[in-house]
Amino acid sequence: MAQLLEVTNLRTEFKTAAGTIRAVDGVDLSVGQGETLGIVGESGCGKSITSLSIMQLLPKGLGKVAAGEVRFNGENMLEFSERKMRSIRGNEMAMIFQEPMTSLNPVFKIGKQIAESARYHHGVSKQKAKAMAVEMLTKVGIPRPEKVAVSYPHELSGGMRQRVMIAMAMICNPKLLIADEPTTALDVTIQAQILDLMRELQKSEGTSILMITHDLGVVAEMCDRVVIMYAGQVVEETDVKTLFKDPKHPYTQSLLASLPQLNSDQERLASIPGQVPNPLDMPKGCRFAPRCQFAKEICLAEAPELVEVEPGHKSRCLLQQEGYHEYTA
């Protein structure tokens, strides 16, 4: 499969009063043509910062990409000027954010906000852009698209606003769509509709998707491959079926064990003990070792590398690589 996006050794840092935080530390990932890659991890693991680093939308003066490469169609975007990046954002690469109300401008009508991207990137007339906006609203399943186009964001429901965000992202037929927790604020029924919509648009347009989520149910339904992140690093990478059938890293195993199981007589869900490490004071060895039930002395002293433990399956665990333990459901 041809690789559309290739991220290599990405390191993103933030300056704080207490010191420099490395929020993303050596992340490698790739997204193929027409593929959906999921990035999974608990809050603070660096998955959203990874996406903002790819889009070069880090807060200026606070965050910066300190090292690595982000290749899109074979070109390293970190070497691009801001002007060239503006020509790519919204055109060849688009992003859907978690909360539409923080992304939509409350004082502009929906149609104008969707049409703006088409006018900027494709240079079409105001009337043509307006027609394209209404067409996209129809594509994303919004009833009475002409009326919605002249509405303001606050006049729409949460599910409708998220559909508007998808229409805005897809109006220029981008090659890559980055979706950062696109269904978190929605109820289960609307969430299912949004996921179905993204699948249909991907199928019709051939768009690649980078899906950022903490919901393993969404991963199972949407993704082809999965990257598991913990404390700024990738700890496991494999295809979806293998992840659920044979997880290798103890963190992934713990995440799956915490899911509610049908036909189970357990009274309480399993949980992961401890807390995510302080980014200003990372453990010397494995970053998950203080919370890992399998940890040994070597785990506290030696930092593991992400290596291929089986064909197409990578894990960052010294013990798993040495065969010291196996996962038991």
Q: What is the pLDDT of residue 158?
A: 85
What pLDDT was estimated at residue 215? 87
Give percent above pLDDT 90 in the chain: 61
pLDDT, tens digit, for every residue of 269-283? 778 888 889 888 899
Mean of all residue pLDDT scores within the chain? 89
Expressed as residue numbers, the domain containing 253 is 231-259+276-322
Residues 212 and 239 in one domain: no
pTM of the model: 0.90
Query: Residue 64 — φ and ψ, nearest 5°?
Result: -155, 150
Contact 193/244 with Cβ under 8 angstroms? no
Q: Does one domain contain both 235 and 218?
A: no
If asked whether residues 130 and 198 sit together in one domain, one would say: yes
Residue 327: predicted pLDDT:
41
pLDDT(265) > 90: no
Q: What are phi and psi of 232, to 5 degrees?
A: 85, 0
Total of domains in the chain: 2
- Residues 146, 81: one domain? yes
Q: What are the tens digits of pLDDT across the range 290-319?
A: 999 888 989 999 999 999 999 999 999 988
Q: Do both 88 and 201 map to the same domain?
A: yes
Across the range 259-265, mean pLDDT stands at 71
Same domain, 59 and 132: yes
Whether the pLDDT of residue 266 is over 70: the answer is no
| Same domain as 244, residue 210 | no
313-315 vs 233-239, strand pairing mode: antiparallel
* 292 and 205 part of one domain: no
Q: Are residues 66 and 209 in the same domain?
A: yes
Q: Which of 301, 307, 298, 311 is nearest to 319 (CA)?
A: 298
Q: What is the pLDDT of residue 115?
A: 93
124 and 207, same domain (yes or no): yes
Helix, strand, or coil (residue 78): helix
**Same domain for 317 and 289:** yes
85 & 12 share domain: yes
| Mean pLDDT score, 10-27 | 93
Give the domain CATH number at 39.
3.40.50.300
Query: Residue 71 pairs with which residues in a beta bridge?
Result: 6, 76
Average pLDDT over residues 320-329: 53
- pLDDT digit string, tens, across residues 68-83: 999 999 999 999 999 9
CA atoms within 13 A of residue 218's CA, in its CB half-sphere: 28
Structure confidence at residue 252 as a pLDDT band (50, 70, 90)? very high
**Statement: residue 288 has pLDDT above 90:** yes
Instruction: Please tell me the least confidently modeled range out of 154-168, 187-201, 217-231, 239-253.
Output: 187-201
